[in-house]
Structure 1
Amino acid sequence: MTPADLSTTVLHAVRRAVDEDALHAPVPARVRVERTRPGGCGDYASAVALQLAGPAALPARQVAEILRERMAGAPGIGRVEITGPGFLNFTLDAPADAAAHRALLDRVREQGLRYGHGDALAGTPLQFGHAREVRAAVIADAVRRLVRAQGAPVRISCHEEPDPDWARLGVTVDAHGRTPAQQTETAEIRPVPAGATAGELLDRLGPDATRWGLLRPAGHDRARLGDELLVQGEANPLFLVRYAHSRTRALSRGAALLGFTAAGDEVGEEVSEDAAALALLALVADHPAALAAAAHHRAPDRLARHLEAVAHAFFDFHDTASPLPAGDEKPSAAHRTRLALAEAAGTVLAGGLSLLGVSAPPHL
């Protein structure tokens, strides 16, 4: 069971409790679940009972009890416990969990770079406008990519004639100049300006580092555009993300030389034994939600931070148990599962970088 699956299960329990008049509260659009923190119990936790307690005019623990009764025996959930003032804690069922892991890894493999794309914004035409400033142009371009990945038709306009150097950054503008209609209908993108032109940044940093440097900070923060973006070391988040992707590709090449792939019915069965693997799998499973949130909030920086988290988790996982056999060791089901997870992480990294307009080379 993925975090998204668990969130859906909890949401169904809330809706059932409301339908049965056991709970008088509005049904939320989404229920948040997260990994249990140190000192907690189970695999995942949710504060949904605390959120519903006020509208329901009930103590949070009573709301939690109502929801626990309606989740007992749900597929994939082994145990539901209540802690503190009303937190729900979930322990997943191991056999069902293995099947869910396999299904998730299969889904990532099948969907490829489109994994995480959806239709949350389908049928919602959007228009964004920005000043003749490079950071605003690059953020608008990334927002265009994100909302299109969620099914929305989108149009970008610049208040003045675009800078020709923007094309070197992959930026396109559909129209320029203002009209009264555009002023009322266009959502404005107004980040803190970069303080340099596109040409100046490109000459010093190149397109990938320039885009990452402009997109990684939140729009209300100043972008750091120094030589640290070119450092070939894991302290540089851009290098970390791209290096993690290139390592996943190297693992696939190494497996092919050893004569095995990630395919197989047993893939997914070993993940539950490894905390680092579970942490990486959870981030892979959260990728669709991360893309949807970045599109909804018009915030490419959210996607950049998600990719950094995936990269860190990948290296933790890789250092714990390599997907490739050592010495004379024969490839096993465990190696195929680890390889499938590494390849899924690589797909998430490549797909996310593509939406940010940053390249993901197979060698670095």
Structure 2
Amino acid sequence: MTPAELSEALRAALTAAVDDGTFALDAAAIPAVVHVERPRQREHGDWATNIAMQLGKKAGTNPRAFAEELARRLSGVPGIGAVDVAGPGFLNITLDTAAAGGLARAIVEAGSAYGRSQALTGQNINLEFVSANPTGPIHIGGVRWAAVGDSLARVLGAAGAEVTREYYFNDHGAQIDRFARSLLARARGEEAPEDGYGGQYISDIADQVLARRRETGEPDPLTLPDDEAQEIFRAVGVDLMFGEIKAKLHDFRVEFDVYFHEDHLHESGAVDRAVSRLRELGHVFEADGATWLRTTAFGDDKDRVVIKSDGEAAYISGDLAYYLDKRERGFDRVIIMLGADHHGYIGRMMAMCAAFGDTPGVNLEILIGQMVNLVKDGEPVRMSKRAGTIVTIDDLVDAVGVDAARYSLARSAANSSLDIDLDLLTTATNENPVFYVQYAHARTVNVARNAADSGVHRADGFDPSLLDHPSETVLLGSLAELPRVIAQAAELREPHRVARYLEELASAYHKWYDQRRVTPFGDEAVSDVHRTRLWLNDATRQVLANGLDLLGVSAPERM
């Protein structure tokens, strides 16, 4: 019996009690999914629920009495061995051995679909992450958002949401001008401007701009007036830099559905439309020759200038236009992932959301990530050889590989600072979390391979009642948790929960492996015991693979 099947059994018992008048409840009060969870103490059963405490008073009865009635109705459900009422109304449910063991077959048959749900079905989510300016390589903070953002998109999709991954391509503004001036200076053999960009990559791109012009037979930009030369280095240099960013993200297993250009907002009139909409809603006013948005009416610490007195659009105007554009494209939820230096950005963005008539925290969510530090030989890794002043995606991937990089960045809550020990991530030990989980998967494959060589095949038999060893009970309980973990990770926007779950599952599997054999020993004949354990082994392999896929990490068959 899966947790979903148990939840449905609880819901059926509730519905029956409402229909026959035992519970004085409106049928609408019964949740679509009755939440069950693993008790902290094994002796309290396989599953527990507090549904009686949620609904007892609404039904005009004592929660414990409500729970006792539910227990009576559940006691006859096939697969449920015992139901106990604890404390003020907790229900502790113990499955019979066969029902608990049946989960192994259910997982194998579900395959890659196991753990997925329809919890977020109907939600159309725009998830914006990374969005590094095309003025240099992706720095380590952006790499963290690449790993976390892509994993979050996978988790949200597994929970039933429609997710669009979006990259905001910032190709408008002063930083692009500084980038172009830096390229032009390097092409001329000069030092970059004081406010410009340094690093070897600037020289590399400047050389590529000149080479591209030679290939196309176009005039050498160094022979042109400064403004024309700078425009060429801006257009071609940004294109080259962004192409490199895309390639690095692709190699990091991160793809985007939409690359949205900031220039489009200004060229299409989107800014004017957004300001007009807010003016119609009564939230725009004129003062000191400028156009303002009255964000203080929605909790911001001060009103914000939208159009400056010289007629130029202020920075927030792009945010207004971009948010409205996303909503008009049909996204009911907009999630934006930003770095630690954007914490002060939240108030004005939520005020903007409210000014449009939307609900902050629902239609718009902002996730703030904290700093990442790389450590090698006990010392911080300070800078990139190529970028000169920052640690980049190449520094991390070159040191530990894509799998370890993605896993290590995604396994901790993004709103906490993170130290990554490069030495640890290159070791083949149990202390290395990605190795520990991947090795568990490789071990399940090896066990299945050895089983086949010994004549043990799943198709020849399955008796779930034989999975009665304590290590099997623990392993089955851990396998059953994947749907809940995915749903919770999606709801809380915390993909790191998947990584921590996989480590717990790997631990349960390694302990089971040490105590139970899938292949016959010596002259022992192949029996249903071996075949049934093979089902459990293969169920573990499937869950590990499903979980690793949610993190964008490979599930190796050999290590």
Structure 2 length-normalised TM: 0.59
Aligned to 1:78: 81
- 1:49 paired with 2:70, answer no
Amino acid at match of 1:222: S
Question: Is the CA contact (8 Å cut-off) linking 1:263 and 1:340 kept in structure 2?
Answer: no
Structure 1: distance between partners of 2:435 and 2:488: 24
Instruction: Number of aligned residue pairs: give it.
Output: 359
- State whether structure 2 residue 165 is matched by structure 1 residue 156: yes
Contact 1:35-1:45 within 8 A present in 2 as well: yes
SS of the aligned residue for 1:34 comes to: coil
- For 2:120 and 2:87, the matched residues in 1 are separated by 37
Displacement after TM superposition at 1:123 (Å)? 4.1
Checking the alignment, whether the CA contact within 8 Å between 2:462 and 2:535 is kept in structure 1 is no
1:124 maps to which residue?
Answer: 123
Q: Could you tell me which of 507, 530, 545 is aligned with 1:350?
A: 545
Deviation at 1:82, TM superposition (A): 1.6
Instruction: Name 1:260's counterpart in structure 2.
Output: 456
Structure 2 CA distance for partners of 1:154 and 1:90, relative to 1, 3 Å: closer
Counterpart residue number, 1:192: 370
Q: Is the 8 A contact 1:22 1:66 kept in 2?
A: no
Task: Pick from 59, 63, 66 the counterpart of residue 63 of structure 1.
Answer: 66
Where do 1:191-230 residues align within 5 Å? Answer: 191-194=369-372, 196-227=391-422, 228-230=424-426
C-alpha spacing 1:122/1:37, structure 2 compared with 1 (3 Å): closer
- 1:214-250, Cα deviation, whole Å (9 max, x unpaired): 1000121223321222221112221111010000000
Structure 2 CA distance for aligned equivalents of residues 237 and 23 of structure 1 = 50
Deviation at 1:124, TM superposition (A): 2.9
Secondary structure in structure 2 of the residue aligned to 1:78: strand
Which stretch of structure 1 is more off in the superposition, 39-48 or 298-307?
39-48
User: Does residue 144 in structure 1 map to residue 339 in structure 2?
Assistant: no
Residue 4 of structure 2: SS of its match in structure 1?
helix
Alpha-carbon distance in structure 1 between the residues aligned to 2:16 and 2:442:
46
Higher-Rg member (1/2): 2
Per-residue Cα deviation, 1:262-306 (whole angstroms, up to 9, x for no partner): 2234342311x2121122112223323322332333321111122
**Equivalent residue, structure 1, for 2:16:** 16
Supply the distance in 2 between the matched residues of 1:351 and 1:8 (Cα, whole angstroms). Answer: 24
User: Which residue of 2 is the match for residue 332 of structure 1?
Assistant: 527
Alignment match of 1:166 (pick from 249, 252, 255): 249
The alpha-carbon deviation at position 151 of structure 1 amounts to 4.0
Structure 1 residues 35 and 115 mapped into 2: Cα distance closer, same or farther (>3 Å)?
Answer: closer
- Whole-Å separation in 2 of the counterparts to 1:82 and 1:295: 31
Which secondary structure does the structure 2 equivalent of 1:329 belong to? coil
Deviates more, 1:45-54 or 1:206-215: 45-54
Structure 2 residue aligned with 1:113: 112
Displacement of 1:37: 4.4
- Shift of residue 315 of structure 1? 1.0
Native 8 Å contact 1:269 1:337 kept in 2: no
**What is the letter of the counterpart of residue 121 of structure 1?**
L
- Unmatched tracts of structure 2, length 5 or more: 133-141, 171-241, 266-319, 328-333, 338-367, 374-390
Query: Any conservation in 2 of the 1:157–1:177 contact (CA below 8 Å)?
Result: no
Q: Which amino acid aligns with 2:428?
A: Q
1:225 counterpart SS class: strand
Q: Please give the alpha-carbon distance, in whole angstroms, between the structure 2 residues aligned to 1:35 and 1:157.
A: 37
Counterpart for residue 322 of structure 2 = 182
Using a 3 Å threshold, how does the CA distance of structure 1 residues 24 and 176 change in structure 2: closer, same or farther? same
1:291 aligns with 2:486: yes
Alpha-carbon distance, 1:76 to partner: 1.7
Is the partner of 2:30 in helix, strand or coil? coil
Measure the CA separation in 2 of the matches of 1:82 and 1:331: 42
Cα separation, partners in 2 of 1:37 and 1:288, compared to 1, 3 Å: closer
Equivalence map 1:31-46=2 (5 Å): 31-38=34-41, 40-46=43-49
Q: What is the CA-CA distance between 1:183 and the residue it aligns to?
A: 2.4
Aligned to 1:2: 2
Distance in 2, matches of 1:69 and 1:32, equals 19
**Counterpart-to-counterpart distance in 2, 1:22 and 1:54:** 10
What is the aligned partner in structure 1 of residue 356 from structure 2? none
Partner of 2:505: 310
Asked if structure 2 preserves the Cα contact closer than 8 Å seen for 1:213 and 1:224, the reply is no
Percentage of pairs with the same residue: 36
Secondary structure of the residue that 2:156 maps to in structure 1? helix
CA distance in 2 between counterparts of 1:359 and 1:67 reads 44
Q: Is the 8 A contact 1:23 1:63 kept in 2?
A: no
CA–CA distance in structure 2, aligned partners of residues 39 and 212 of structure 1:
30
The Cα RMSD (Å) is 2.5
Distance 1:122 1:340 in 2: 31
* 1:243 maps to which of 398, 416, 439: 439
- Structure 1, residues 120-152: CA drift from partner, whole Å, max 9, x if none? 434432101134222122222112222333443
